[in-house]
Amino acid sequence: MPDGTGKPYVRRLSEHFVNEWTQHVGFPPPTLGELNAILAESYRLNGQRRIFVKSAEGEFKPDMLLAQFWNHDKGVIIRVDFTNSTAVTVIVPRSKRLTRQCAEASG
């Protein structure tokens, strides 16, 4: 899949991902197979990186910048943690969220 080895991008959906997908995309989240297919046809915005951020105490502490995939057809950005093969969150445009809220309010 991601590198031609046949390994899936993700093996698990985080609870946050499931909640965000359901709330903002508007229907139940995809299965692991469906999500991996979505990721396979998505554009990779950035890979996962280890970064260091300055704490309030002035020390630099390690953190992780998650991999991000953009799927134009679905209108979503999906963040993936490759450390544990987990889909962490889904980001949708504000206009898509408003469209969903308007549809719920009218019907």
Higher pLDDT, 76 or 102: 76
Q: What is the pLDDT of residue 93?
A: 85
Domains held by the chain: number: 1
The whole domain housing 39 covers 12-106
Look up the pTM and report it: 0.78
Asked if residue 16 is part of any domain, the answer here is: yes
Asked if residue 72 is part of any domain, the answer here is: yes
Asked if residue 7 is part of any domain, the answer here is: no
Rg (C-alpha) for the chain, rounded Å, is: 16
Asked if residue 28 is part of any domain, the answer here is: yes
User: CA dihedral defined by 80, 9, 22, 43, rounded to 10 degrees?
Assistant: 70
Pick left, alpha or beta for residue 93 (phi over 0 → left; psi -120 to 50 → alpha; otherwise beta): beta
- Res 106 pLDDT > 90: no
Q: Does residue 65 contact residue 51 with C-beta atoms inside 8 Å?
A: yes
DSSP string, the chain: --SSS---S-SEE-HHHHHHIIIIISSPPPPHHHHHHHHHTSEEEE--EEEEEE-TTS-EEEEEEPEEEEETTTTEEEEEETTTTEEEEEE--HHHHHHHHHHHHH-
Asked if residue 2 is part of any domain, the answer here is: no
Asked if residue 63 is part of any domain, the answer here is: yes
- Res 9 pLDDT > 60: yes
Higher pLDDT, 49 or 93: 49
Q: What is the pLDDT of residue 35?
A: 95
Asked if residue 91 is part of any domain, the answer here is: yes
Asked if residue 3 is part of any domain, the answer here is: no
pLDDT tens digits for 44-89?
999 999 999 998 999 999 989 999 999 999 999 999 999 999 999 9
Where does the pLDDT of residue 94 fall: very low under 50, low under 70, confident under 90, or very high at 90 and above? Answer: low
